[in-house]
Amino acid sequence: MRQFAVIGLGRFGQSVAKTLEERGFEVLACDSDEEKVAEIADHVTHAVQLDATEEKALRSVGVTEMDVAVVSVGEISSSILITLLLKELGVPLVASKAVDSLHAKVLRRVGADRVIFPERDMGVRVAESLSTPRIFDYIEVSPTHSIVELVAPKSFNGKTMRELDIRATYGVNVIAIKRKKPKISEEGESAIEEEFILGPAADEEIVLGDLLVLLGQDKEIERLKEL
């Protein structure tokens, strides 16, 4: 089971932590504010009061064992330092909240694997995309239906949309395919560009690494996530 640390328990951090716990993951929730820790204690696996800008404190609660850490503290300098410490401690995936583009740029420079803008990315949406490694984005369109960007299962590689018949087999619609393609820049250097195939044709063949943009019932999408 994947383990998550959520550092900073404001409204956004609490939303991420509670959603991850509801999805059955182990969640370590941390904040320097004792009241915020108490508020969430009954909703997560572990809730701890600590100063996350101190490496010793992070080690003491087992952050080095986490698969993912979400940095959701409000103070800019603290979020940058915590992000740096988490990467130095070997956390594989660190997602950090940014307040503006400059803050985001610094977070990426110090190692953030993903930068989150709370005004744009709801806590539930972030939790869903982080909890499943193959999901890149998630949008809830109703209590029972969602749009997700899912890495195509390896078993789909080389097969056409007609052969897969995803709608009939899994009950979800493929809205589009996102595909990375190599190209040569004007300077003669190799680069990667993203191709967006809207409403893929029946003879469109799935390529390894394709992102499928799917719309469907959550229970049906769950079936695809298990492939």
String of DSSP letters for 113-171: SEEE-TTTS-HHHHHHHHHSTTEEEEEE-SSSEEEEEEEPPGGGTT-BHHHH-HHHHHS
Residue range 201-217, pLDDT digits in tens: 899 999 988 888 888 88
- For the whole prediction, is pTM greater than 0.85? no
Residue 196 backbone phi and psi in degrees, to 5: -115, 110
Class of domain 3-129: alpha beta
Where does CATH 3.40.50.720 sit in the chain? 3-129
Q: What mean pLDDT, rounded, does the chain reach?
A: 85
**pLDDT confidence of residue 135:** 45
CA 111 to chain centre: 16
8 and 32 Cβ atoms separated by less than 8 Å: no
Other C-beta atoms lying within 10 Å of the C-beta of residue 192: 8
| Between 140 and 61, the higher pLDDT residue | 61
Percentage above 90 pLDDT, the chain: 45
Residue range 71-129, pLDDT digits in tens: 999 889 999 999 999 999 999 999 999 888 888 889 988 999 988 887 555 655 666 66
181 and 191 Cβ atoms separated by less than 8 Å: no
| Between 205 and 145, the higher pLDDT residue | 205
Where does CATH 3.30.70.1450 sit in the chain? 135-225
**What mean pLDDT do residues 131-146 have?**
57
Orientation angle between helical segments 11-22 and 123-131, nearest 10 degrees: 40
Q: Was domain 135-225 assigned CATH 3.90.1150.10?
A: no
pLDDT class of 223 with cuts at 50, 70, 90: confident
Tell me how far CA of residue 169 lies from CA of 141, 162, 165, in angstroms.
22, 11, 6
Q: Which of 147-151, 164-168, 185-189 has the highest mean pLDDT?
A: 164-168
